[in-house]
Amino acid sequence: MVDETDQKSPLQRIRIHLFLEGEVQGVFLRSMIRNKAQLLHVRGWVRNLANNKVEALFEGDRDDVEELVTFCRAGPGAAAIDKSTMEEEPYRGEFSDFEIRTENYLDE
């Protein structure tokens, strides 16, 4: 079986680096983001940062990634997003799935 996301034009694929601030840790936000990403066939990762932020990197079809960003900014579940910062980066296609990363890093 061929993964449909691999057959899309590179012009339709995007990479988004997202930071979320607010009530974002201890509310199962990373799990909800991972589950939504898997439903949308978005690849990448999400992790907590040591400064009470959540960082995520998404790659996939533009419409799917944009839907995932909207989902994140809405503060799903018990999460309450006070601020989000997003940067579009060149698409690399480096991920084969979506994962929750468990290491914590300080925001630079």
Q: Find the helix packing angle between 62-73 and 29-40, rounded to 10°.
A: 160
Let me know if 48 is a catalytic residue: yes
Measured CA to CA, the distance from residue 63 to residue 22 in angstroms comes to 26
Q: Find residue 60's DSSP bridge partners.
A: 14
Measured CA to CA, the distance from residue 61 to residue 49 in angstroms comes to 26
Catalytic residue among 48, 62, 73, 92: 48
Catalytic residue among 13, 30, 34, 43: 30
Q: Supply angle C-alpha 22, 44, 75, rounded to 5.
A: 25
Active-site residues, by number, are 30, 48
